[in-house]
């Protein structure tokens, strides 16, 4: 383990160089610049390498084994990982749960869970959405009742990413009724191997099985695994959203799709075609403009350490650009676009499938338009 | 090609002072009345307005110090263009900048530039390319004979009315030349744009001219001038986007139908949110373009692509905003007498001037090809 590096004190160029160098040495080339998500057995060696190098948790304080990066450095860290095409990791525990544990956890909870999260010995999924609670998350009904010193959970979660490979879930459970819907929710850490938990993977349009339904039937949990005060879990859940909201609006997916569109146009022999030259240029403009908008928010993170609600504009534009480029890829491919690709190859429909979810997750684009209307433009609630 | 760090960056404090002083002038001299006056002015520009532009130093502030300017960079001119546009006072600022930017890049331009600074000359660039060659002055159809006489037509010259002379790119036997023609020798026919701004059409028939630059020097100067002009026009467009969104927001908060403000209806909220997205994009793209353009003085391809993208975004954001805000205002939005019309018509003019979005995309793609050819040549 590399001891006591003050990452924030390094000159920026050296900081970047160290991260790049680490990736070059430790991240297997066959895992890089790939669109698909790998299963944890494939990515775990890279996860463990980051963990052993003290680089798995950029945002955690150094006292808890993190790098202790400030927002500006944290953003650079993410940019370097993206630029090097490092694979998506099952690191929801690090990114989402860790900061909540550090802010709201008891000494015992932190001592028990943080090392397990950072080492990769536990894989966490986020149990928020339910069949009847999507954008209106606080209406959730998956129920917990206190009985003989235990918390007994019954109900269902859905769209739970990676639940089928997770060892643990951090979930929102309705532990009290009456009052405002945001009250009476508890933030609970749940061992997925407990009796009474059933996981059913859901196949997506792209043929992937990354999200799941999770059913709870009289699942008995130790109330010591409630994070924060019982019935006050909404506050814990909300605290997860920091400057990293900017990341939901990263133009990285649109940039990748743009490369695919260029290849598709070339493969179809349409490079000199006036219509396709124009459409490709529009796609370039939309993507480069998204990049400029991203940079303007990243600059705010650098100077203010946070971003405002205006960042919803970035999320809307980047995800919608991804979709419009995906549309162009399919169209440029003609009838052949619908052919299933050879094993291991990316077909023309893949970006089309992949571009559906980003306008839905991390707040649907409609919710983000509501945010802009109310919180930025000051329009009255409808 | 070497890049000369001629332009120091405008620091935040100076930028704010400039913004404030333009806004103060806008409040004093601008507004709806100024916008309406565009239609009634018989010819030329308000001398008092020109005096302010000159005395404040706004006309020459972006020019290199070596060319008699303040060397504050194009970002300073962008702040002025945006602030003046908001108050309907932008014309003829951008047109005059285009002329001075061309003069500032040629060795034979110093005298005229000096006269401009003193208020003794008001040159207008006689170039209005359209279609695929809109940004390529070498495509000029005006010819210059061996005796230095010009023949051909130039249409739609901004700043032509009241101009003391015209700078006209022409094709001479030896290639491109930039010429200077006195307004006494070439009298423009006056036409008006949708918002009332006069432009001039020139019909040249063996009109005597003075060659002030040739070949590569002329071409490079013209391309810088047209790029800078397009970016200033984009800054003007952004001002109109902001003004129209502000008008719409106030209307959505106050106009009551079905017993509540119409801004409470989600159909309108989401459309306003999409306008905000476009405004945010245009702001970010223009800020990035103004921050980078001065350093790209020597890189025609990168500069041209930067400007093409910025102008296209400003065009698209402004045209969308104009359409949507008319709809938000209902019947009132379709009237001439309501102040929104001044913004809408100016947007229709600016989105066409110095490159429509389709023209900008074509230019960007052509520059991409040029870059690919350059790289291929480097390899061989």
- Cα–Cα distance measured from residue A265 to residue A260, given in angstroms and rounded to the nearest whole number: 9
Q: For the complex shown, is ipTM > 0.90?
A: yes
Q: How far is A310 from chain B (nearest CA, A)?
A: 9
Nearest CA in chain A to B314: A289
Q: What share of chain A is helix, strand, coil (3-state, %, to 5)?
A: 50, 15, 35
Question: Among A225-229, B70-74, B312-316, which stretch is predicted with the lowest mean pLDDT?
Answer: B70-74
Q: How far is CA A220 from the centre of its chain?
A: 29
Q: How far is A320 from chain B (nearest CA, A)?
A: 11
pLDDT over threshold 70, residue B8:
no
Q: What is the mean pLDDT of residues B273-279?
A: 98
**Better-scored residue on pLDDT, A369 or B141:** A369
Contact in structure between B200 and B157 (CB atoms under 8 Å): yes
Question: Among B3-12, B101-110, B342-351, which stretch is predicted with the lowest mean pLDDT?
Answer: B3-12
Tell me, what's the pLDDT at A295?
A: 93
| Paired tokens of A207 | 């043929």
Tell me, what's the pLDDT at B3?
A: 32
Contact in structure between A86 and A154 (CB atoms under 8 Å): no
- Cα–Cα distance measured from residue B327 to residue B361, given in angstroms and rounded to the nearest whole number: 28
Contact in structure between A266 and A259 (CB atoms under 8 Å): no
Residues of B in contact with A292 (CB under 8 A): 281, 284-285, 287-288
pLDDT over threshold 50, residue A44:
yes
Residues of A in contact with B264 (CB under 8 A): 379-382
- Is A244 annotated as catalytic? yes
Contact in structure between A376 and A310 (CB atoms under 8 Å): yes
pLDDT over threshold 90, residue A248:
no
Q: What is the mean pLDDT of residues A96-125?
A: 96
Tell me, what's the pLDDT at B9?
A: 61
Tell me, what's the pLDDT at B119?
A: 86
Q: What is the mean pLDDT of residues B239-244?
A: 98
pTM of the model: 0.93
pLDDT over threshold 70, residue B41:
no
- Cα–Cα distance measured from residue A358 to residue B48, given in angstroms and rounded to the nearest whole number: 54
Q: What is the mean pLDDT of residues A183-205?
A: 97
Q: Virtual CA dihedral for B212, B218, B222, B225, nearest 10 degrees?
A: -70
Q: Which of A244, A327, A354, A366 is catalytic?
A: A244
Residue B380's pLDDT band (boundaries 50, 70, 90)? Answer: confident
Tell me, what's the pLDDT at A178?
A: 87
Residue B22's pLDDT band (boundaries 50, 70, 90)? Answer: very high
Tell me, what's the pLDDT at B298?
A: 86
- Mean pLDDT over all residues of chain A? 93
pLDDT over threshold 70, residue B7:
no
Provide the percentage of residues in chain B whose pLDDT is more than 90: 79
Q: What share of chain B is helix, strand, coil (3-state, %, to 5)?
A: 60, 15, 25
pLDDT over threshold 90, residue B37:
no
Nearest CA in chain B to A314: B277
What residues in chain B have their Cβ under 8 A from chain A's Cβ atoms? 249, 252-253, 260-261, 263-266, 269-270, 272-274, 276-277, 280-281, 283-285, 287-288, 309, 312-313, 358, 361-362, 364-365, 368
Q: What is the mean pLDDT of residues A208-236?
A: 96
Q: What is the mean pLDDT of residues A200-226?
A: 95
By Cβ distance, the residue of A316, A368, A382 closest to B265 is A382
Q: What is the mean pLDDT of residues A97-118?
A: 96
Instruction: Work out the angle at residue A175's Cα, subtended by the Cα atoms of residues A172 and A177, and round it to the nearest 5 degrees.
Output: 115
What is the pairing mode between strands A185-191 and A226-227?
antiparallel
Residues of B in contact with A366 (CB under 8 A): 270
């Amino acid at each position: 383990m590399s001891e006591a590096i003050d990452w924030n004190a390094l000159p920026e160029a050296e900081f970047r160089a160290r991260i790049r160098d680490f990736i070059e040495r430790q991240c297997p080339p066959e895992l890089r610049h790939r669109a698909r998500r790998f299963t944890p057995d494939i990515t775990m060696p890279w996860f463990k390498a980051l963990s052993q190098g003290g680089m798995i948790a950029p945002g955690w304080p150094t006292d808890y084994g993190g790098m202790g990066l400030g927002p500006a450095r944290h953003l650079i860290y993410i940019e370097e990982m993206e630029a090097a095409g490092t694979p998506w990791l099952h690191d929801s525990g690090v990114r989402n749960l860790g900061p909540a544990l550090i802010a709201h956890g008891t000494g015992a909870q932190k001592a028990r869970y943080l090392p397990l999260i950072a080492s990769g010995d536990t894989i966490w999924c986020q149990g928020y959405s339910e069949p009847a609670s999507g954008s209106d998350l606080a209406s959730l009904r998956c129920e917990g009742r206190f009985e003989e010193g235990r918390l007994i959970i019954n109900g269902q979660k859905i769209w739970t990413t990676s639940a089928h490979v997770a060892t643990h879930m951090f979930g929102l459970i309705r532990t009290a009724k009456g009052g405002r819907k945001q009250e009476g929710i508890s933030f609970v850490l749940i061992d997925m191997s407990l009796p009474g938990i059933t996981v059913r993977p859901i196949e997506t349009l792209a043929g992937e099985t990354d999200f799941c339904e999770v059913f709870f039937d009289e699942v008995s949990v130790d109330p010591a695994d409630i994070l924060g005060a019982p019935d006050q879990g909404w506050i814990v859940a909300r605290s997860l959203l920091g400057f990293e909201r900017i990341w939901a609006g990263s133009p990285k997916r649109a940039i990748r799709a743009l490369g695919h569109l260029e290849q598709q146009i070339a493969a179809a022999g349409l490079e000199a075609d006036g219509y396709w030259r124009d459409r490709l240029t529009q796609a370039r403009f939309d993507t480069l403009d998204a990049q400029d908008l991203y940079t303007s928010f990243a600059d705010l993170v650098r100077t203010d350490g946070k971003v405002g609600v205006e960042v919803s504009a970035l999320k809307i534009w980047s995800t919608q650009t991804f979709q419009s480029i995906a549309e162009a890829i399919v169209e440029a491919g003609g009838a052949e676009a619908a052919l299933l690709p050879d094993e291991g190859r990316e077909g023309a429909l893949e970006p089309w499938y992949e571009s559906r979810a980003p306008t839905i997750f991390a707040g649907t684009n409609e919710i983000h338009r509501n945010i802009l209307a109310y919180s930025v433009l000051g329009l009255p609630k409808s | 090609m070497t890049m000369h760090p001629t332009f120091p960056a405008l620091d935040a404090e100076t930028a704010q002072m400039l913004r404030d002083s333009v806004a103060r002038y806008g409040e004093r001299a601008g507004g709806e009345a100024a916008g309406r006056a565009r239609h009634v002015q018989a010819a030329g520009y308000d001398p008092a307005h020109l005096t302010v532009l000159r005395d404040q130093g706004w006309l020459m502030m972006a020019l290199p110090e070596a060319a008699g300017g303040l060397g504050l960079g194009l970002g300073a001119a962008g702040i002025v263009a945006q602030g003046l546009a908001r108050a309907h006072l932008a014309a003829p600022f951008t047109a005059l900048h285009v002329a001075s930017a061309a003069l500032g890049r040629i060795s034979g331009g110093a005298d005229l530039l000096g006269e401009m600074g003193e208020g003794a000359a008001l040159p207008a660039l006689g170039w209005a390319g359209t279609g695929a060659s809109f940004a390529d002055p070498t495509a000029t159809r005006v010819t210059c004979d061996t005796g230095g006489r010009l023949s051909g037509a130039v249409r739609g010259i901004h700043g032509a009315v009241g101009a003391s002379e015209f700078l006209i790119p022409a094709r001479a036997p030896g290639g491109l030349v930039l010429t200077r023609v006195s307004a006494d020798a070439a009298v423009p026919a006056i036409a008006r744009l949708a918002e009332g701004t006069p432009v001039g059409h020139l019909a040249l028939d063996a009109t005597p001219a003075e060659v002030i630059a040739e070949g590569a020097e002329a071409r490079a100067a013209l391309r810088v001038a047209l790029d800078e002009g397009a970016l200033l026009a984009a800054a003007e467009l952004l001002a109109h986007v902001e003004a129209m969104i502000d008008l719409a927001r106030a209307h959505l908060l106050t106009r009551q139908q079905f017993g509540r403000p119409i801004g409470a209806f989600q159909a309108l909220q989401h459309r306003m949110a999409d306008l905000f997205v476009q405004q945010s994009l245009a702001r970010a793209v223009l800020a990035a373009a103004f921050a980078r353009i001065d350093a790209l003085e020597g890189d025609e391809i990168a500069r041209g692509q930067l400007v093409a993208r910025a102008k296209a975004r400003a065009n698209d954001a402004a045209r969308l905003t104009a359409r949507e805000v008319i709809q938000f205002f209902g019947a009132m939005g379709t009237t001439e007498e309501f102040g929104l019309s001044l913004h809408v018509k100016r947007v229709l003019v600016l989105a066409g001037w110095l490159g429509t979005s389709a023209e900008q995309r074509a230019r960007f793609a052509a520059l991409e090809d040029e870059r690919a050819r350059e790289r291929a040549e480097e390899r061989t």
